[in-house]
Structure 1
Amino acid sequence: MFRNFLKFSRKFFVLVIFTFASFASAQDFFKQANELYDKGEYKKAVKVYRAAIQEGRYEPFAWFNLGNTLVQLGKNNIAMVAYKRTVELMPDFTKAWVLLGDLYYLGGDYGLSIVAYKRALELGEDSDHIHYALGECFIKSHSLALAQKHFEAATRLNPDRIDAWYGLAEVYEKLGDYEYAIKTLKRAVDNTAAAGADVHYTLSHYYSKMDSSKKAIREMESGLLIDPQNTSARRFLAQMYLQDASPWMAIFTLEEGLRFKKNSDQLYVDLGQIYFSQKRYDEALENYMNAWKMGNSQGRIGAENVGNAIYNAGDEAKAQEIYQRVIQKR
């Protein structure tokens, strides 16, 4: 698929802050640790949260905040222990179950991740994040019907959640139902302002799978209207035009790309290859040389091939001039 790999992340961590009426030492520890966390001084905060845990009165909340702090330090395995301790002490604390599910997911343990997220749902934490996460867990566990159910729930709760629409389309793709995958992404375009160029690139991919080359080309064009500097997509579109026997459109597409990115050596190479295949050697040479001047070795090879073609055609003098240009990079 053309869409970017889905990234699993939390938007924020929630620090539990309580007003204490007694036990001044615990209050001091907790307050100091939270202040250190807010300042980004996570290593120092860890020590102070541990002191609050040792004091005991606010232990579950100190464990939870300790877990958040350890995640910020990249110590997910230890953070998992802290979240587990939190839910042992306070089984109804939904945020801890959600973050525990996130860490299981990141560690590749989708079964335990599902258990944690489902517990959060049972406790009333019905969010698009949980349903999206469950959809991802089930799709990775090859339970496509359950993945579909949760991706659909995520899109209902938050129609702007574009990754949930992608997830739902991926379910249909895995089922080989490209027609429904296409309908899903078209619904995404209608329902969310977050749908960008990648939606059109993915639609193009689906249409290609259905051998609908004209529609595939149209979606790639739509994507490039939104994202004109995407060189990879532009090169792919040019190849689609070549396969559709429209080399002039391939040339136009690549030249348009150079208007947005003049220093793209790959676009020059692609243009050189098209002109060379048409035996338009002068135009092929200039494009290959532009790529070679930028350090692209394919440009050098292409320019030398132009020289070889002209030499074989009997114009030895012109071929030697080309070889010298290649050597001198001019």
Structure 2
Amino acid sequence: MNQDYSDHFDEFNEATIADAAKRFESMLQRKETPYFSEEVFESLSEYYMVRGKFDFAMKACNFGLKHYPHSLDLILNKTQILINKFELEEATDLLDNASIFHPSDTEIEYFRGVILMCSGDNAEALDLFRQILPLAEEKENVYFQMGMALVSLGHIPEAIEAFQNAIGCKSKNELVYNELVYCFDVQSNLLGGIDLFNQLIDEDPYNQLAWFALGQCYNQLNLYEKAKDAFEYAVAIEGDFASGWYNLGLSQMNLESFSDAKESFINTLRFEEPSAEVLTHLAASHEKLEEYTEAYKNYKKAADMDEFWDDAWFGMASVLYEQEKYLESIHFVKKAIKLNDINSDFWLLLADNESKLGNVISSEEAYDKAADLDPINADIWLNWSLLHFEQENYHRAFEIVYEGIEEIPDDADLYYRACTYLLYSSSFNEAYKYLQEALVLDYDKHVQLYDFFSNLDTLKALQRIIDQFRK
């Protein structure tokens, strides 16, 4: 559970163990019984666990234990895999058998504590971790699990202390830093987190995990420029830091630096196995750059990788909508809605597609559903009202934006649109009131009015009012 294996290759370098992995897999394909030294089997299992290939890791453990049945490292690696698969009873039996030959071993007790946590017995697990802490060789791992147990028990200040102790033991586990950020966020004290991570950076400017955690804090505070700078330091220190590249990409997306974000997501995929999540963000960066072919291709890869990843289906629908392929777009957005029917963006896209096809009733139903789910999304009210405006039903169009104004009374776009519909209804005095309010909220957005009027006299009258307001 939440174990970091990246520092476990003491006996073998990456190239050597990668070669051993190829030979191991080749033997499996030929249905031969693999035979290596105990140390190679241990390193193979860890090699596969680092990469999330738990089936191969389990095979390495099982074949290794056939030859070396009392190897504690292989037993513990197999225990970890069983825990990851939530096969806790088998994991417990394995530890019970191991304790016969390795009585009072702290690593065995450590994994008993992890199993207790997985079973929801966090208080008992915490007691066990405290008992073995003085004797544990890798105290940073024990402190980390203590912190996780304390988080589950709702003891956030004590959890922060435990995670800080893990860092004090020179932990290089990314999860320790992630959990610290989480704790500071739960406490609504991200500024405290920023102070801590800056202190860690002062102590060691090459601590890429501290830079990474600092960036996460800034991201949570919507300080995207500062977050970007922190993530850039993290990947400059460790060029193959996949999580650093991924979060850098997220910050760049928020800063609308879509080309840079695309490169960051590409780098993420260079240094870790592809995932539906990363592929979806890469696709979104392509979409923002209007590179629709590449965007669709990556959204499709994400959906092929995980058919339940609703954002991938939505992404394909969004690309098809931009390409004016409305019928195809509806097909994919309905797949997204089937997976997640409480996402207002999905219903909004369905409504927009139906509107483009002239399916007024279907569009109306979808807009209504979107508004129920997210009444403070101005785009829903604006697009919904436009459906009726295009049918010259100006009164109904105004009613819809009026509902939106009641939900979002400080949104200038809704006031400008209300003004537009009232002018079309010849309700000039009312239109003037809404125009005044819109100009107060955001003067610069008045240019959107010009998209709705082609009559020169109307445009001149509007401009006079706007100019008077500016004076």
Answer yes or no: same fold by TM over 0.5: yes
Q: Counterpart of 1:148 in structure 2: which amino acid? A: Y
TM-superposed CA distance for 1:195, in Å, is 5.4
Return closer, same or farther for 1:185/1:231 CA change in 2, 3 Å cut-off. Answer: closer
TM-score (norm 2): 0.41
Q: Counterpart of 2:364 in structure 1: which amino acid? A: E
1:48-197 correspondence to structure 2 within 5 Å? 48-56=196-204, 59-156=207-304, 157=306, 159=308, 161-162=310-311, 164-194=312-342, 196=344, 197=347
Q: Counterpart of 1:222?
A: 365
Using the alignment, how far apart are the partners of 2:398 and 2:252 within structure 1?
Answer: 48
Using the alignment, how far apart are the partners of 2:211 and 2:192 within structure 1?
Answer: 15
Q: Counterpart of 1:222 in structure 2: which amino acid? A: E
Return closer, same or farther for 1:119/1:174 CA change in 2, 3 Å cut-off. Answer: same
The answer to whether the 8 Å contact 2:314/2:333 transfers is yes
Q: Counterpart of 1:316?
A: none
Identity of paired residues, percent?
17
TM-superposed CA distance for 1:146, in Å, is 1.0
Secondary structure of the structure 2 residue equivalent to 1:19: helix
TM-superposed CA distance for 1:141, in Å, is 2.5
Q: Counterpart of 1:203 in structure 2: which amino acid? A: N
Q: Between 136-145 and 87-96, report the one with greater CA deviation.
A: 87-96
TM-superposed CA distance for 1:201, in Å, is 1.6
1:285-300 correspondence to structure 2 within 5 Å? none
Using the alignment, how far apart are the partners of 1:61 and 1:52 within structure 2?
Answer: 10
What does the per-residue CA deviation read over 1:96-115, in whole Å, with 9 as the maximum and x for residues that have no partner? 11111112222333333222
Structure 1 residue runs of 5 or longer lacking an equivalent are: 1-14, 24-29, 208-212, 277-287, 298-330
Q: Counterpart of 2:353?
A: 203
Between Structure 1 and Structure 2, how many residues are aligned? 249
What does the per-residue CA deviation read over 1:17-41, in whole Å, with 9 as the maximum and x for residues that have no partner? 7725757xxxxxx9xx869835333
Task: Give the structure, 1 or 2, with the largest relative contact order (CA under 8 Å, sep 6 or more).
Answer: 1
Using the alignment, how far apart are the partners of 1:204 and 1:119 within structure 2?
Answer: 38
Q: 2:166 aligns with which of 10, 19, 34?
A: 19
Return closer, same or farther for 1:170/1:22 CA change in 2, 3 Å cut-off. Answer: closer
Q: Counterpart of 1:303?
A: none
Return closer, same or farther for 1:151/1:58 CA change in 2, 3 Å cut-off. Answer: same
Using the alignment, how far apart are the partners of 2:241 and 2:300 within structure 1?
Answer: 26
Structure 2 residue runs of 5 or longer lacking an equivalent are: 1-159, 171-176, 407-414, 436-471
Return closer, same or farther for 1:149/1:65 CA change in 2, 3 Å cut-off. Answer: same
Q: Counterpart of 1:88 in structure 2: which amino acid? A: A
Q: Counterpart of 1:161 in structure 2: which amino acid? A: D
What does the per-residue CA deviation read over 1:264-308, in whole Å, with 9 as the maximum and x for residues that have no partner? x999x989x88x9xxxxxxxxxxx7xx96xx779xxxxxxxxxxx
TM-score (norm 1): 0.56
Secondary structure of the structure 1 residue equivalent to 2:196: helix
The answer to whether the 8 Å contact 1:136/1:167 transfers is yes
C-alpha RMSD of matched pairs (Å):
4.7
Return closer, same or farther for 1:74/1:201 CA change in 2, 3 Å cut-off. Answer: closer
Using the alignment, how far apart are the partners of 2:342 and 2:333 within structure 1?
Answer: 12
Q: Counterpart of 2:310 in structure 1: which amino acid? A: R
